[in-house]
Every structure is written in C-alpha cells, then in structure tokens.
A and B are shown apart, each in its own frame.
Chain A
C-alpha cells in the first residue's frame, strides 16, 4: 500500500488537544475509534487510505490525547467532532465510527448532517433496546477478561495481550483507553436513553456493518434495532468477525466500505 501522506499529528479544537492519524488523499473519511482505542499500525487504516484522506483522532483520554477538563460525555465528544469538521472545513465527509465511536458518530448525525455525505456505523453501541431489567450490552467492567474476549471476538485468541512484552508507552495507552472508556461509558452503560428516538433525524445514507460472530451485541437484535430506527439504513454482516470486524477482517471490512462509498449520494 502506497501512501502519499502518512503522519501522526496534533489538532486543537477549541482548546482541546487531539492526537490524530492522518493518511491518504482525496475525499474526507473521518474515523472515530471505539473503546479499543486507535492503533496507528492497524492494517485497515492503510487499506482505507487508498480511498480517501483518513482523519482519525484519539478521543480525549484515549491514546496520547490528554484528558480535557470540558469533555466527559459522549455528547461532549459529538460536539467536539462537529466543531472539528467545521474547523477543518471538511465537507461531504464519510464518517465511520466503531462501537463507542459509532455511538459518537450517531450522536453527531442526529445533531447535524450538514457536513456529512455518508455514515458508516460499525457495531455501534449507544441505544437502549430491551426493558429495564435486561442489559442489551454485557457489562465489560463486571466480566472476566476471557469472557469479554469470547463475546467480542470471532477468534478470542486475538484478544490475548502479553503485557510483559509491551513498552511502558503501550501499556500506558492500554490503561488510558480503559479508563477513558469508563469515563464515557459507565452510566448509562454504553447508551443514551434518548438516542434511539432521535435517530430518525439522520438523513444521509447509512450503512451498519456487523461481525457475524459478534456475541457482545448481535446484528440480529441490536443491529436490527439500529437499522430500523435510521431511515433507509442498511445492515450488512461480515463473516468470521466479532465486535471489531476492522481488526479481525480488515480487507473484507474495507471492501464493504469502498462499495458503499462508491454508491454515491442516495436521495
């Protein structure tokens, strides 16, 4: 994969400092990572950069982005990234969000789609589907890590991390990602009770992508609820992938994205 532009950069949005991976050229593809953080070496980023200019910030508290005094909710992040789009004057943006990042993307889109061309939500959390006594989303903070891996990965061995071989910097990023996930997702747990009733406002073509082996939030239940709430949204399933299809099946994932982007604006 040849990249004409590839750099790790910093952006400041109304005083909030963000570490940003920027890669490729052409139409704007903004990528919002999930609770797993942003790995600048992840193969899907290069694959995606063949189809546009990828802009992938680390949310405040994740990666190396500092904590921000003014940002502690998903709502804050949604406004932050709408400000980022405006500040960089990005237009006709293809917005991709993964899991927690999919939730941010959905919150952005219900506020304003002025700068969006297309929306791709990859196994997004963010909505409440079931009743008050059933969690839609298993509590990752109350489960053993092996069980979380079994729920989230087609191949759970991929989730095993040998801490002893990681650098202090890598361990720090892991600890920060985990802490920031708790900050944004603790309560209400991984959702906004009001989001589902607002999703009808999304008026750009929307693709929901889901790993067939996602046992954390399933495509047939949670994915279908999301699809039904967004006008005209389509739900596609990627085989042999769990909750993070861009990690387990990067080529298949980018292939779906490319196809969707090539469809052009639907009305």
Chain B
C-alpha cells in the first residue's frame, strides 16, 4: 500500500461560526488576512516536503471560495511541489474538469508539471463538490456528460503528437489543439477519478483508472470498489490490482491512543467547520432524482454522520483512523479487508488547528511505525 499526505491548506483563523451563514461560497474574504495566509502557505508546503523526506507520496486537491481550502488553483501548488521535491509521486486529485471552461488548458498544465517533475505526476479528475457550483460558474445539470467530454478532449490532447486536431463537441469547441509540452510519461500520466455513485465507478472501471473514495466509510467504499471489480469481470478483463483503489480518511498517529485521538479531534475541524446552507449543499441536478427525493424525505446514511460529526462515530464508520501505531494499523486493515483491499491510502494529515509540530509528529509516527507494515500488504502491481 502507498500512503499519500495531503492537506487542504485551510484558513482556520475565523471568527465564531455564529457570525457567518456559510464557510463556503459566500463568506466575505475580509476575514482572510493575506499576511497570515502567506505564512500558512509556506508552512503547508514545508509539511509536504517533510512528508516526502519521510517516504510518503504527496497529494494536493482544489476547492474554491472556501476557508476550508485555500488551493483554488491546484496546478499551482502542484507546480511548486514539483520543484521543491525530488522523488515523491505527485497526485492532484483533482482537476474539477466539469467546471473548467478549457480542458485543453488543463491538459497543458498537467503536461507541464509532468515534464518538469520528470514524470512524477498522477492526474486526478473530479466532478467537484456541490458547493463548487457557484464558484465553478457552471450549471449543475448534466455535469457528468460534460466531465467525460472534457476527459476525452484532455486525453486526446495528451496523446496526439502529429500536429493539431479540432474538437467540435457538445460542450467544448477547440481549434488547432496541439499542446506544448507533451507529457513526460507515455502515453500519459496515470489517471485517477473519484466516484460517489456506482454509475461513476462503472465508467472508471471501464477505463481501468484508479478509483478514489473520500470519507465514504465502510459501506459506501465497499459498494464503489465492488462495482468497479464487477464491471471489470463483466467486461472479461483481469481482476484489477489493488493499485486501482484508493481510500481517503483523516489519519492521526500518536504515541498513545489518547494522543492519537487528540490529534484526530483537531483534524475533525475539517468536518465540524463545514457550515453550509441547504441551497449550496443541494443544487438542482447535482444528485440523481432518486437521491434528491430521499433528501426531501430527510437525509439518511452517511449524510447524517456529517450533520452531527463526532470523532467516535467517524472512527466507527471508518472515516477516521486514529490512535497509537498499532491501533491505526488495525483500523486501516479492517477497512482494507472490508472493501476487498485498496492500494492507496490518502491521508488528510493536517486540518484546522493541528499545529505544524503536531502535524509533523503524526506523520513521522505513521511513516515509521505504521507505513512499513502497510507496505508489506500485497501491493498488487505497484512498481
């Protein structure tokens, strides 16, 4: 198993949540102090570099108009890390391509980072969370159709080397597509896609990409991974290796369980602070109709967890792995076995008020005491 460190580069220094309606979309940026923000950027980048020194791979993501995540341009952070690091794999998970107006620009950005990282880039594509609809400035209906057309255009841009082609699709038009540079890795960097629905999982499976689940817990993750594996079997393809599956959780490793839980409680800021009104969490068309109907009847399942998040319930459901090294290892293995195995653990190892020293301590304990045991698991084709 490979472990990846990521941080959302949060700006957590906010007034009491009673003072604002929403931490996303509408929170006035007068609450953001650029001087403190600059310090935070440098700190978070330092932590990625330390993670590399500890042998972890690196992941960045992207969100918009939110204090929970100050990476509105993921490729920029990725570009910095490509220069600041030397050996770690670099995963961007991901590019919100249903919201980006120019897929060819995404292809260029990714090819550029791939080249100057000398082929260390892994490119994720994501649909984007519901609250990104306003910031992404694109309608929430038929998003996946647009997503896959953008994907097709990017892949063609990466793999065409004999001069320009033209694209006149349903959602995108582009003339004389002929990107410079072309990707370092051939035929293109590895592709990752996040999936929340079985339908998406099937489409990712058909293309053989890595499927990633974020905080989906035991049942949700199992459904996605099983759907992926079943789809491969239906198509008569070989059993996918473990490196096709990734799971993201909040992880904090302490010397003792108590220290691990204390660190995890600080990470929980990421979910606890997520105050967002209904009109932004449930834009029309984002969810399938059946899901929207269930939401009107009252939310259930994993969504309820997020409405009243506690560390205990998040740990019970496999969204947080925390405690001493043995405990963390056992919790990860439990999830691993429950979902049929996965080859990548995406670790949110920093959030909210978890200070630099605490973040580094948690990463170190994980890297030294937990990670070696995870690496011994069948890594199913990871080089």
**A residues neighboring B (CB under 8 Å):** 72, 141-145, 163-164, 166, 168, 171-172, 174-176, 178-179, 181-183, 186-187
A-B contact pairs, 5 of them (CB 8 A): A178-B292, A182-B139, A182-B284, A183-B141, A186-B141
Give the residues from 268 to 282 in chain B that come closer than 8 angstroms, CB to CB, to chain A: 277-280
Quote the shortest CB–CB distance from B297 to chain A (angstroms).
6
B293 near A168 (CB under 8 angstroms)?
yes
A143 near B279 (CB under 8 angstroms)?
yes
A145–B282 CA distance with the chains assembled, in angstroms: 12
A183 near B296 (CB under 8 angstroms)?
no
- The winner among B25, B140, B278, B285 for most chain A CB atoms within 10 A is B285
Q: Which of A72, A164, A175 contacts B142 (CB 8 A)?
A: A72
A179–B137 CA distance with the chains assembled, in angstroms: 16
B278 near A179 (CB under 8 angstroms)?
no
A183 near B142 (CB under 8 angstroms)?
yes
A178–B286 CA distance with the chains assembled, in angstroms: 11
B279 near A171 (CB under 8 angstroms)?
no
B142 near A163 (CB under 8 angstroms)?
no
**B residues neighboring A (CB under 8 Å):** 25, 133-134, 137-142, 277-280, 283-285, 289, 292-293, 296-298
| Nearest chain A residue, comparing its CB with the CB of B291 | A175
Please name 7 further chain A to chain B contacts, defined as beta carbons within 8 Å, in addition to the given A178-B285, A179-B289, A182-B139, sorted by A numbering. Answer: A143-B279, A145-B278, A163-B297, A166-B296, A175-B289, A183-B285, A186-B139
Quote the shortest CB–CB distance from B24 to chain A (angstroms).
12
B289 near A141 (CB under 8 angstroms)?
no
A186–B289 CA distance with the chains assembled, in angstroms: 18
Whether A179 contacts B141 in the complex (CB less than 8 A), given A141-B279, A142-B279, A172-B289, comes out as yes
Q: Chain A residues with Cβ under 8 A from B296's Cβ?
A: 163, 166, 171, 174-175
A178–B292 CA distance with the chains assembled, in angstroms: 10
Interface of B is mostly: loop
A141–B140 CA distance with the chains assembled, in angstroms: 10
A72–B170 CA distance with the chains assembled, in angstroms: 11
Q: Chain A residues with Cβ under 8 A from B139's Cβ?
A: 182-183, 186-187
B141 near A176 (CB under 8 angstroms)?
no
A155–B63 CA distance with the chains assembled, in angstroms: 39
Whether A182 contacts B134 in the complex (CB less than 8 A), given A142-B279, A145-B279, A171-B296, comes out as no
A142–B285 CA distance with the chains assembled, in angstroms: 14
Whether A171 contacts B297 in the complex (CB less than 8 A), given A179-B141, A183-B139, comes out as yes
Quote the shortest CB–CB distance from A162 to chain B (angstroms).
10
| Nearest chain A residue, comparing its CB with the CB of B141 | A183
A144–B257 CA distance with the chains assembled, in angstroms: 43
A183–B278 CA distance with the chains assembled, in angstroms: 19
A174–B292 CA distance with the chains assembled, in angstroms: 10
Q: Which of B278, B289, B297 contacts A144 (CB 8 A)?
A: B278
| Nearest chain A residue, comparing its CB with the CB of B294 | A171
- The winner among A143, A164, A171 for most chain B CB atoms within 10 A is A171
A143–B280 CA distance with the chains assembled, in angstroms: 9
A27–B25 CA distance with the chains assembled, in angstroms: 50
A175 near B283 (CB under 8 angstroms)?
no
Q: Which of B134, B292, B298 contacts A179 (CB 8 A)?
A: B292
A143–B278 CA distance with the chains assembled, in angstroms: 9
A144–B21 CA distance with the chains assembled, in angstroms: 11
Quote the shortest CB–CB distance from B296 to chain A (angstroms).
4
- The winner among B140, B142, B284, B297 for most chain A CB atoms within 10 A is B284
B289 near A176 (CB under 8 angstroms)?
yes
| Nearest chain A residue, comparing its CB with the CB of B26 | A142
B293 near A181 (CB under 8 angstroms)?
no
B279 near A144 (CB under 8 angstroms)?
yes
| Nearest chain B residue, comparing its CB with the CB of A142 | B279
B284 near A171 (CB under 8 angstroms)?
no
A216–B75 CA distance with the chains assembled, in angstroms: 41
- The winner among B139, B140, B280 for most chain A CB atoms within 10 A is B139
Quote the shortest CB–CB distance from A82 to chain B (angstroms).
23
Q: Chain B residues with Cβ under 8 A from A172's Cβ?
A: 289, 293
Q: Chain B residues with Cβ under 8 A from A179's Cβ?
A: 141, 284-285, 289, 292
Quote the shortest CB–CB distance from A16 to chain B (angstroms).
17
Q: Chain A residues with Cβ under 8 A from B141's Cβ?
A: 179, 182-183, 186
| Nearest chain B residue, comparing its CB with the CB of A143 | B279
4 tightest A-B CB contacts, nearest first: A186-B139, A175-B292, A182-B284, A179-B285
B134 near A181 (CB under 8 angstroms)?
no
A187–B277 CA distance with the chains assembled, in angstroms: 22
| Nearest chain B residue, comparing its CB with the CB of A181 | B284
Quote the shortest CB–CB distance from A66 to chain B (angstroms).
12
| Nearest chain B residue, comparing its CB with the CB of A171 | B293
- The winner among A72, A144, A175 for most chain B CB atoms within 10 A is A175
Quote the shortest CB–CB distance from B23 to chain A (angstroms).
16
A139–B156 CA distance with the chains assembled, in angstroms: 37
Quote the shortest CB–CB distance from B113 to chain A (angstroms).
31
A182–B130 CA distance with the chains assembled, in angstroms: 14
Quote the shortest CB–CB distance from A113 to chain B (angstroms).
31
A178 near B284 (CB under 8 angstroms)?
yes
